[in-house]
Structure 1
Amino acid sequence: MIEVQGLTKQYKSVRAVDDLSFEVKPGKVTGFLGPNGAGKSTTMRMIVGLDEPTAGNALIHGTSYSKLKNPLRTIGCLLDAKAVHPNRSAAAHLKWMAQSNGIPTSRVNEVLELVGLSDVAKKKAGGFSLGMGQRLGLAGAMLGDPEILILDEPVNGLDPEGIRWVRSLVRALAAEGRTVLISSHLLSEMALTADHLVVIGRGQLIADQPTYDFVKEHSASNVIVRTDFLTEFSGALEEESVEFSTSKDEEGRETLIIPEQSTDFVGNLAYSVGVPLTELTLKRASLEDAFMDMTSDSVQYHAEAPAGKEQNDS
């Protein structure tokens, strides 16, 4: 388990992490989310002893990273896939990592096969593509068969097959009872991968809860209705004091948008007043919607809308 307790990091006038506390528990994939500049990478670096906290501490199984004997056997990390000597081969890079932590060098071939790099094991890492570099970084994280994994943007540069593979891998590892902390800007992928979310903004904790609860609490679901009897059904909704709005779909057809209701309720209401529906769809809330809603005040850099477009189109 990872315990972050009152973690703070001050860089001169900038407080990158501000009294941050959370736990990453075994048996689940914990997504670590936040806008650019939120302090995610700094937090992960402090957990593994690469940055010294200004205050607070981070514990791994109740102790600091610096006190772990052969740390790669306890915690595997992918924080910067480019942190490889360009003139070393993939196998040589992993071999020295293994030898430095008392890991049998036979494990090198195992992890290279695991990440799909066996055929390029003797090639220099400096010639690797972005995706291949990510796979080598994942091999390094898995080298010690660790109980804990910290992965920062592990699918960066991977093709769809690689992204699906990483998702399956981390979920399988969590199912084995391991502790997995993973950061990514691909929110649609995190929605499929993470069981639990820790969300931060400007170095402070915003949310710490199961993914399902985060999405449900912080964004709305809408029922989309189309009918040839729009006026009649609008009147029925008004009589039931049900909120709704009108819009047009991509084909220019008039639709009703009914927030926070179920399709069962809306369908039964239409049946009770004799209004046939041509569409009855539940548009579920997404992790992206919830994330944008919760972190809008914590974004460090805001892009302007292109000329001639409304700001909400960006």
Structure 2
Amino acid sequence: MIEVKNLTKVYGSVRAVDDLTFTVEPGVVTGFLGPNGAGKSTTMRMILGLDAPTSGTALIDGAPYRSLPNPLSKVGALLDAKAVHPNRSARNALLWQAQASGIEASRVDAVLDLVGLTSVAGKKVGGFSLGMGQRLGIAAAMLGDPEYLILDEPVNGLDPEGIRWVRELLRRFAAEGRTVLVSSHLLAEMAQTADRLVVIGQGRLVASGSVHDFIKENSALTTVVRTPHLAEFSAALTAEGITFVPSTDAEGRPVLEVPSQSSDDIGALAFSTGVMLSELTERRASLEDAYIRRTEGAVQYASTGFPVPGGQPNA
């Protein structure tokens, strides 16, 4: 388990991380979210012992990263995929790390194959695309077959196949009982990857819990009803004092949108009135919508609108 407790980092007059407390549990993928400048990378650096906290603690299995006897076999990390000498080949970039940690060279070849870089193992890293660099960084993180993975924006530059591969890799890693902490600004992808979320803003904790609960708590519920007896069911809703909005679905069929009512409640009403339903669907906002709503006011770098002709901002 990763335990962050009262973690604070101050740079001059700036509190990059402010009394932050959360845990990252094994067996699940934990998404680490926050606006630009929220303190995510700084927090990850303190967990990995790269930055010293001003106060508070960040522990892995109850100990600071720097005290781990063989850290590469305990924790795999990717914070900056570009932090590799450009004149080294992909294989040599991993080989020196393996040799320094007592890892056999065969493991280098195994992780290169895992990330799909075997065919370019002898090429210089300086000529790699952003996506190839990300794959090499993930290979380095996996080198010691670690119990923990800490990844900062691992899918940047990857194509759809690569993004899906990372998603499946992280979920398989967590399913083995290991611990995953991953940050990303691709919220649609995070919704498919993460089980739990830690959300921060301006260095402070905003939310912590399951993806399902986060969306539920930060978005409105609407139940969509389609029935061949639209007028009859509209009358039943009105009689119960339930507000609804007539609408159409993607195929142009008439539906009723019922805000703030669960499908259980609407289904029970339909059953009690003897109305047959063709569709009964709960609709919630996406993770992106819930995230925007929850982090409103915690954004450090916010745009003022879209440019319009004449150079005036659009409010």
* TM-score for both structures, normalised by structure 1: 0.89
Aligned residue identity for 2:221: S
What corresponds to 1:291 in structure 2? 291
1:54-93 correspondence to structure 2 within 5 Å = 54-93=54-93
What corresponds to 1:259 in structure 2? 259
Hey, what's the Cα distance between the residues in 2 that align with 1:274 and 1:62?
Answer: 59
What corresponds to 1:128 in structure 2? 128
Hey, what's the Cα distance between the residues in 2 that align with 1:14 and 1:254?
Answer: 54
Contact 2:219 2:284 in 1 (8 A): no
> Would you say how many aligned residue pairs link Structure 1 and Structure 2?
310
Shift of 1:264: 4.9
Shift of 1:165: 1.0
Hey, what's the Cα distance between the residues in 2 that align with 1:173 and 1:116?
Answer: 17
Hey, what's the Cα distance between the residues in 2 that align with 1:221 and 1:211?
Answer: 15
Contact 1:70 1:102 in 2 (8 A): no
Task: Decide which moves more: 104-113 or 226-235.
Answer: 226-235
What corresponds to 1:214 in structure 2? 214
Aligned residue identity for 1:20: L
Measured against aligned partners, the alpha-carbon deviations of 1:54-108 in whole angstroms (never above 9, x if no partner) come to 1111111111111122311110100000111111100010011111212112210
Measured against aligned partners, the alpha-carbon deviations of 1:210-260 in whole angstroms (never above 9, x if no partner) come to 222222222222123467887765443232122334567678887543123
Instruction: Label 1:302 to 1:252 Cα distance change in 2 as closer, same or farther (>3 A).
Output: farther
Hey, what's the Cα distance between the residues in 1 that align with 2:271 and 2:195?
Answer: 38
1:140-159 correspondence to structure 2 within 5 Å = 140-159=140-159
Secondary structure at the counterpart of residue 297 of structure 1: coil
What corresponds to 1:40 in structure 2? 40
What corresponds to 1:29 in structure 2? 29
Instruction: Label 1:260 to 1:62 Cα distance change in 2 as closer, same or farther (>3 A).
Output: same
Aligned residue identity for 2:37: G
Aligned residue identity for 1:110: A
What corresponds to 1:94 in structure 2? 94
Secondary structure at the counterpart of residue 42 of structure 2: helix
Shift of 1:270: 5.1
Question: Taking every aligned residue pair, what percent have the same amino acid on both sides?
Answer: 65
Shift of 1:303: 2.2
Aligned residue identity for 1:44: M
Hey, what's the Cα distance between the residues in 2 that align with 1:99 and 1:279?
Answer: 60
1:266-285 correspondence to structure 2 within 5 Å = 266-267=266-267, 269=269, 280-285=280-285
Instruction: Label 1:56 to 1:92 Cα distance change in 2 as closer, same or farther (>3 A).
Output: same
What corresponds to 1:163 in structure 2? 163
Shift of 1:283: 1.8
Instruction: Label 1:70 to 1:278 Cα distance change in 2 as closer, same or farther (>3 A).
Output: closer
Contact 1:197 1:209 in 2 (8 A): yes
Flag structure 1 segments of 5+ consecutive residues without an equivalent. none
Shift of 1:26: 1.2
Contact 2:216 2:284 in 1 (8 A): no
Task: Decide which moves more: 34-43 or 59-68.
Answer: 59-68
Shift of 1:164: 1.1
Hey, what's the Cα distance between the residues in 2 that align with 1:299 and 1:183?
Answer: 16
Flag structure 2 segments of 5+ consecutive residues without an equivalent. 309-313
Hey, what's the Cα distance between the residues in 2 that align with 1:285 and 1:236?
Answer: 27
Aligned residue identity for 2:90: A
What corresponds to 1:2 in structure 2? 2
* TM-score for both structures, normalised by structure 2: 0.89
**Two-structure CA RMSD over aligned residues (Å):** 2.5
What corresponds to 1:243 in structure 2? 243
